[in-house]
Amino acid sequence: MGTPADLDLSGAELHELEAALRDLGSPAFHARQIFQWIHKRGVTDVRLMTDLSRELREALATRFVLTTPDVVKTERSSDGTTKFLLRLSDGKQIEAVCIPEHPVGPTDVRDADRVTFCLSTQVGCAMGCAFCLTGKMGIDRNLTAAEIVGQVRVLGRELGVLDQRFTIVLMGMGEPLHNYDETMKALRILADERGLGMSPRRVTLSTVGVLPALERLATEPLMPNLAISLHSTTEEQRDLLVPINRKYGLKELLDACRRFPLKRRERITFEYVMLKNVNDTPDDARRLVRLLSDIKAKVNLLPLNEAAGIPFERPSDAAVDRFARILAERGLTVSVRKSRGRDIRAACGQLITETPRTATPGRRLALAMDAAGRS
Ligand code: SAH
Ligand code: SF4
């Protein structure tokens, strides 16, 4: 924790709140009340914490901040998927998406029996995967734990689902293991039973495989489900599609997955973006089976969401089926991601926001050249 003045109540763990209250000369038990107001009830203004004395509320308001992203725009897809464009306190923008488990009418996500929040962990992303719009933006900055947690508060409150069971996937903008400390802090805050009490089993962290961070994750007491963005079965091809592979190769990544501690019945999800005539052949499928043969794995196929500037095509449904069948016949559990919210460009890998930095003509040109160079 820094000095009390830099403490953001939204990104504080309970013990930090307790320390802050002691500094104010207030009993530490108020920390629990504050923690509940913020994380369980989604309150964004300390003045509304009505079971605290007026003096304490005033002291909190003057000494600390409680940042909550502002909603700039919401877009509701015909299947109920809602995309939120959010503005952070420095004006940067991110996106977060709420996806109902089953398509519902455009009016009420509360009808859905389960919803998933897809959250961002960075403004942009440094990893530069060749098929990903967020990757094309480049990295602007990491999100703070307060901003990651804040997305849950905003989505939960806007949709009225904070009191329901929901799941979280860290599959919005950014690479969570490239922002390790703030991401893990956010997960600890969300998991704390004295607040929201979100079981880590309902959280999935998706990563391209930043190996040192993955090794560190393997030692965490609080462990989310793991999804690995594999996308390729050879080092050469993965070097091109997922540039971090040049540093942390496929073989090392799979070795780390073999060592990753899993409880009984747990499996690692391997995500595989399908690109027409690039990685969608029966040979690719057979290689994938071999690579995963001694790992507790399931595979999630993601037929490419096409977009301008992405120099790849989506394979036909028949090619996706053929690929899936080869995996299934050889005993792998496989699912094909139905692209949700496509009419509002809310599907994974389609999250991109224009910040002043990305919108400069020079940077646009660099991005365009980069895209052309990869095609
Ligand atoms: N950075 C992390 C998490 C965010 S991306 C990661 O890469 O794992 C979430 C998922 O969306 C990843 O599996 C990513 O490969 C996938 N994705 C990115 N661009 C896509 C696209 N154009 N079509 C389909 N899936 C895409
Ligand atoms: Fe970053 Fe994930 Fe996109 Fe790759 S796929 S550029 S890691 S957000």
Q: Is 95 noted as a catalytic residue in this protein?
A: yes
Domain extent, residue 48, equals 9-63
Question: Considering only CA atoms, which of 97, 86, 101, 77 is closest in space to residue 166?
Answer: 101
Q: Which of 113-117, 147-151, 257-261, 282-286 bottoms out in mean pLDDT, i.e. has the lowest?
A: 113-117
Candidate list 95, 147, 175, 271, residue with the active-site label = 95
pLDDT at site 351? 60
Average pLDDT, the chain: 89
208 lines ligand 1 (CB under 6 A): yes
Give the number of domains in the chain: 2
Rounded to the nearest angstrom, the distance between the alpha carbon of 176 and the centre of ligand 1 is: 12
pLDDT at site 357? 41
In a domain? residue 279: yes
What percentage of the chain has pLDDT greater than the value 90? 79
Give the separation between CA 272 and CA 301, rounded to whole angstroms.
Answer: 5
CATH number at residue 159: 3.20.20.70
| Among protein residues, the one whose CA lies closest to atom 20 of ligand 1 | 349
Does residue 319 share a domain with residue 225? yes
Residue 123: pLDDT above 50?
yes
In a domain? residue 151: yes
Q: Coil, helix or strand for 316? A: coil
112 lines ligand 1 (CB under 6 A): no
In a domain? residue 103: no
Rounded to the nearest angstrom, the distance between the alpha carbon of 350 and the centre of ligand 1 is: 8
Q: Which of 36-40, 217-221, 242-246, 362-366 bottoms out in mean pLDDT, i.e. has the lowest?
A: 362-366
End-to-end CA distance of the chain: 46
In a domain? residue 75: no
Domain boundary among 40, 63, 86: 63
Does residue 50 share a domain with residue 164? no
Q: What is the arrangement of strands in the sheet containing 268-274, beginning at the earlier edge strand?
A: 70-76, 82-87, 93-100, 115-118, 166-170, 203-207, 225-229, 268-274, 297-303, 333-336
Does residue 129 share a domain with residue 242? yes
Domain boundary among 22, 40, 63: 63
Rounded to the nearest angstrom, the distance between the alpha carbon of 130 and the centre of ligand 1 is: 10
In a domain? residue 286: yes
Q: Is 348 noted as a catalytic residue in this protein?
A: yes
Rounded to the nearest angstrom, the distance between the alpha carbon of 157 and the centre of ligand 2 is: 28
In a domain? residue 85: no
Give the separation between CA 99 and CA 342, rounded to whole angstroms.
Answer: 12
- Residue identified by tokens 């600390």 is 64
Residue 364: pLDDT above 60?
no
Q: Which of 3-12, 69-78, 284-293, 301-310 bottoms out in mean pLDDT, i.e. has the lowest?
A: 3-12
* Mean pLDDT confidence for 222-250: 97
Domain boundary among 63, 87, 108: 63
Token pair listed for 180: 């390790």
Q: Does residue 304 contact residue 317 with C-beta atoms inside 8 Å?
A: no
In a domain? residue 92: no
**Other C-beta atoms lying within 10 Å of the C-beta of residue 360:** 11
Strands (E), 114-245: 115-118, 122-124, 139-142, 166-170, 203-207, 225-229
* Mean pLDDT confidence for 318-345: 87
Which ligand has the minimum distance to the alpha carbon of residue 310? 1
pLDDT digits (tens, 9 = 90+) for 76-85: 988 889 999 9
Q: Does residue 147 contact residue 172 with C-beta atoms inside 8 Å?
A: no
171 lines ligand 2 (CB under 6 A): no
Among 95, 119, 120, 129, the mutation site with the greatest number of ligand 1 atoms within 8 A of its Cβ is 129
Residue 312: pLDDT above 90?
yes
Q: Which of 8-12, 50-54, 249-253, 262-266 bottoms out in mean pLDDT, i.e. has the lowest?
A: 262-266
Does residue 153 share a domain with residue 53? no
Residue 109: pLDDT above 90?
no
Residue 60: pLDDT above 80?
yes
What percentage of the chain has pLDDT greater than the value 70? 85
Which ligand has the minimum distance to the alpha carbon of residue 206? 1
Band of residue 347 on the pLDDT scale cut at 50, 70, 90 = low
Q: Does residue 158 contact residue 108 with C-beta atoms inside 8 Å?
A: no
Give the separation between CA 299 and CA 270, rounded to whole angstroms.
Answer: 5
Does residue 203 share a domain with residue 274? yes
Band of residue 161 on the pLDDT scale cut at 50, 70, 90 = confident
Q: Does residue 178 contact residue 127 with C-beta atoms inside 8 Å?
A: yes
Does residue 237 share a domain with residue 126? yes
Give the separation between CA 324 and CA 301, rounded to whole angstroms.
Answer: 8
In a domain? residue 142: yes
